[in-house]
Amino acid sequence: NKSLNKCVLANVFRPVGFAVTSYTPGTTPQRLAISFPPAAQSTVSWTSMKSSVKLLGSGVGRLVAATRRASCSHSEASVVATLRSTAKATTVNQRCQQYQPPVHRSTVAQISRERVNCQVASCQTVGGATTLRQLPLFKRPLQQPLPDQYRSSIHGGVAFFSIASRRFYSRYSATRIMTGTDTFSFADYDCVGFDLDNTLLRYRIGNMMELEYEIVSRFLVEQRGYDGRHLLKPLDKDFLQRGLIIDFERGNILKLDPDGVIRQATHGTKRMADEEIRAYYGDDQRWEVTNEYCRNMLVAWNGPLSERIRTVLDYFDICGTLLFGRIIDTLDEDAHERIGRYNVWPDVLDGLVYMYSRDHFGSNIGGYFEALKANPERYLQKASPELLTWLRELKKHKTTYLITGSHIDFANFTASYAFGQEWPELFDVIVGFAKKPGFFTAAKPFVRLEGHTETEPLTAGQLERYGVYTQGNWRDLTVLLGKIAHTASGTSPRMLYVGDNLIQDVYTPNKYTTADTVAIVEEMAAEGMRDCDAAHPDAPYIVSKFWGSYFTTRAGPGTEDASLWASLIKQHAKICIPSMDEVAKYPLDHCYNCFTENVTCNGYYPAEPLKLVNN
């Protein structure tokens, strides 16, 4: 009752009833109504409330008009049992069992984003939350009077629901609080798997980009005969960004929004105005190829569209856009016009293959592996002690597995540097040269290894715990993991996979298997996060003023919307973190807010990227 300076919370505890709790700030909450028993249900017109109140399904969460939540690391897992075992008058504000909520939890009438600290020494709270505020309310009275014993003291016996017309008041629904479906914890999974490169193993990205560009640019000049006047210039790091799409034939580089609209583009390295984009791709700035790509991203991996476009998705191929663009610039200058059709990408791809071919690690060909072996500290980072401890603890309680695209000799070299010679002990199963994303969708058999040499194919029944294999497929791996994991009889193990490549490691396993995924996106730290001092040492190589934020794309003059990749993260990842060091700070059963359909940013941890907050 806003006029009486009261706040009414409607808390639904079961589909057939409701409870209304009212309080004046600073006073003891007063119970005004109780759940309707079956005898009283006939007196209530539920139909009259269906436009504002849904008593079944996820809509129940909309009834919690305003709550404040301190996300205590030790209380999340028990909240369901706590609520079910307490009297129905208990409000959803009661979170931590070991201390009383701050007074301002029920008195502040404005949105507040400050971080809340539990005063109990053993309790860790994370993140800010929304305090109570005076909400725009609307009222829907019950259509028929209630029996005396069920009358409310408000307005002469007519109970009112008061809920917010917009869901800006709280990031946490009753569904989340009562079922836990909107939170994530590593402890909830039986099997936890990881990618290696740029996930568990962190590179010194700036030095690596410089090395990659130098090797491939010289390859293109010396072995493919391209003019070096642009290719041999220093690396233009501001032009680089993950997630850009190369249009091979037209010589263009594209940045899409989630609907497939081409919002930004260059021809070569020259920025195109909207009029030029429309001249290439039509008035709606769409292309049938990218439309299909947004519907199914695997068609551009090994399907027919792979001959027309390429997405640079990680720091191993990120220099491909600059190499491609500079060649286009050179060809146009030599012809004194835009040629119209180009056949450049196959040569750039040859340069990448020359640099990364798995056979070149042992033979010291290509320059890349030689440089890393000669000076690993220049390109690789040691794992933090906290991460090592966290991984060992995970191995004690869960079945762990590693799936990496690197061949096992290179993976052994990098992992030994980062984690020590005993790194294989961190995993129950190790898979090298896994040809992701096909690993998750195809049926290529596993291959036995003798040392670093592939020998014979294996069936799922031949795979063993603590084995080290190459190639393979997800279906056979899950057979082995199901044997190792100790789950209830007849139940399949819950699977989780963590990786940095949004198509290989996040989109594909989430879309085509039953696994949940966690996305590693270093751009979070490089671009900055809300109320977070974390910084990235290679930010100048990751942040692009030319293209703007990785998480947004230009939607019009002075306006930005979420990028294709921000949308993919929200749809296919449980949470998104800048590095594994962020989760290594907390115990395995720590609960994180995860992405939901109705909230844009709440799966980013430790905080939302600044660009998404500002837009």
Q: What is the mean pLDDT of each run of 10 residues along the chain (615 residues)?
A: 35 38 46 39 32 29 28 37 40 36 31 35 34 31 39 34 30 44 90 98 98 98 97 98 98 96 97 97 96 92 89 96 98 94 97 95 94 98 98 97 97 98 98 97 96 93 96 97 79 95 98 98 96 90 97 86 95 97 97 80 89 82
Q: Which CATH number fits domain 187-202+381-539+547-614: 3.20.20.140, 3.40.50.720, 3.40.50.300, 3.40.50.1000?
A: 3.40.50.1000
From the CB of residue 133, how many other CB atoms can be counted at a distance below 10 Å?
A: 17
SS3 sequence of 13-61 = CCCCCCEEEEECCCCCCEEEECCCCHHHHCCCCHHHHCCCCCCCHHHHH
Could you tell me the sign of the dihedral formed by the alpha carbons of 279, 282, 285, 287, in that order? Answer: negative
For residue 14 the two structure tokens come to 């079961």
pLDDT at 386: 98
Pairing of strands 495-499, 191-194: parallel
* Distance in angstroms (rounded) separating the CA atoms of residues 73 and 79: 11
Residue-level pLDDT at 599: 57
Residue 612: in which H helix or E strand, if any? Answer: helix 610-614
Cα gap 369→15, rounded to integer Å: 62
Asked if 423 and 432 touch (Cβ cutoff 8 Å), the reply is no
Cis-peptide into 557, omega within 30 deg: no
User: Which residues does residue 519 pair with via DSSP β-bridges, in sequence order?
Assistant: 499, 576
Are 55 and 15 a contacting pair, CB within 8 Å? yes
- The residue whose two tokens read 């940045």 is 255
The H helix count followed by the E strand count for the chain is: 22, 25
* Separation of alpha carbons 430 and 452, rounded Å: 13
Q: What is the DSSP letter of 412?
A: H
Q: Which two tokens stand for residue 381?
A: 């980072």
* Sequence-ordered list of residues with C-beta below 8 angstroms from that of 160, at least 6 positions apart, any chain: 1, 8, 139, 140, 141, 154
Query: How far apart (Å, rounded) are the C-alpha atoms in residues 555 and 322?
Result: 24
Instruction: Tell me which DSSP letter residue 503 carries.
Output: I
Which of 569, 563, 564 has its CA nearest to residue 595?
A: 569
Spell out the domain ranges in the chain. Answer: 2-181, 187-202+381-539+547-614, 205-374
First to last CA, the chain: 34
Dihedrals phi, psi of 56, to nearest 5 degrees: -125, 150
Identify the three-state secondary structure at position 486.
Answer: coil
Given a contact cutoff of 8 angstroms between Cβ atoms, the answer to whether 514 and 525 are in contact is no
Comparing C-alpha atoms, which of 582, 583, 564 is closest to residue 254? 564
Q: How many residues does the chain have?
A: 615
Residue located via tokens 């809340």: 116
- pLDDT value for 570: 95
What distance in Å separates the CA atoms of residue 174 and residue 214, rounded to the nearest whole number? 54
CB count within 10 Å of CB 147 equals 12
3-state secondary structure of 81: helix
Pairing of strands 575-577, 516-520: parallel
CA–CA distance, 300 with 437 (Å, rounded to integer): 11
Angle at 183 between CA 178 and CA 188, to 5 degrees: 100
Q: Which residue has the tokens 């914890």?
A: 185
Site of tokens 């008041």? 169
Residues with Cβ < 8 Å from 154, sequence gap 6 or more?
1, 22, 32, 160
DSSP label at residue 356: H
SS3 category, 2:
helix
Number of neighbouring beta carbons within 10 Å of residue 393: 14
Q: Evaluate whether 426 touches 391 at the Cβ level (below 8 Å).
A: yes
Q: Which among 535, 526, 496 has a CA at the least distance from the CA of 611?
A: 526
Give the model's pLDDT for residue 302.
80
Query: What six digits make up the tokens of 57?
Result: 């399904």
DSSP string, 540-569: HHH--TTT--TTEEEEETTEEEE-HHHHHH
